[in-house]
Amino acid sequence: MQLLLIRHALPELAEVTEGRADPSLTDEGRAQARRLPAALAPYRITGLFSSPQKRALETAAPVAQVLELPVTQLEGLAEYDYEQPHYIPMHEVLERAPETYARIKAGWLPESVDADAFRERVLGAIDDVVAATDNDATVAIFCHGGVVNIVLQELLGLERPLTFPIEYVSVTRILVSRNGSRRVGSINETGHVRNMLRV
């Protein structure tokens, strides 16, 4: 089994006075997402899963349309900011929240996040995907940088939960054997959007 963990494309800045912020993609982000069907064409994808957040669902949409597959939403795949009333794209965090930026860049979740609960939620969702997928299948999972990092932390035995700077619409491959063991196939593949990445 192969799990393709795909980070969402570039979203808008969002701030709300009530409830949770749930931004859509920017025009640039939609252009990034349109690169995915061609990038994923070599894989025989049989299932699509996504975080319920708009930025992940909108990233999944072009792939779902081309493959004519439904997208199964799993709340466990939501990012650690799921309940927050604001979303700040990472390239804007340095200016707006320098202490949070420094903490994330050092590899740690924001202090407001219950790291154990987030980890348990994410790993539980990945277990659900594996349980719902045939042994020889490939599925795409549209999620978030924090989610991808938690999976990598678990598989690689890393101390820090945010070790890797996961790029927008990057692909990270996880291989699952028939006996259930898992290993990392690749991390942060970005060839399909190399000319669209922010430096």
Q: Could you read off the pLDDT tens digit of each residue along the chain, which spans 199 residues?
A: 999 999 999 999 876 667 788 999 999 999 999 999 999 999 999 999 999 999 999 999 999 999 999 999 999 999 999 988 778 777 777 787 888 889 999 999 998 899 999 999 999 999 999 999 999 999 999 999 999 999 999 999 999 999 999 999 999 999 999 988 999 999 999 999 989 876 5
Q: What are phi and psi of 87, to 5 degrees?
A: -135, 125
Q: What is the CA radius of gyration of the chain?
A: 16
Rounded distance between C-alpha atoms, residue 7 and residue 188, angstroms: 9
What letter represents residue 36's amino acid? L
Helices (H), the chain: 27-33, 36-40, 54-67, 90-96, 98-105, 115-131, 145-156
83 alpha carbon, distance to own chain's centre:
16
Tell me the C-alpha to C-alpha distance, in Å, between residue 51 and each of 47, 73, 80: 14, 6, 11
Global pTM value: 0.93
| Packed helices 145-156 and 115-131: angle between N→C axes, nearest 10 degrees | 80
82 alpha carbon, distance to own chain's centre:
13
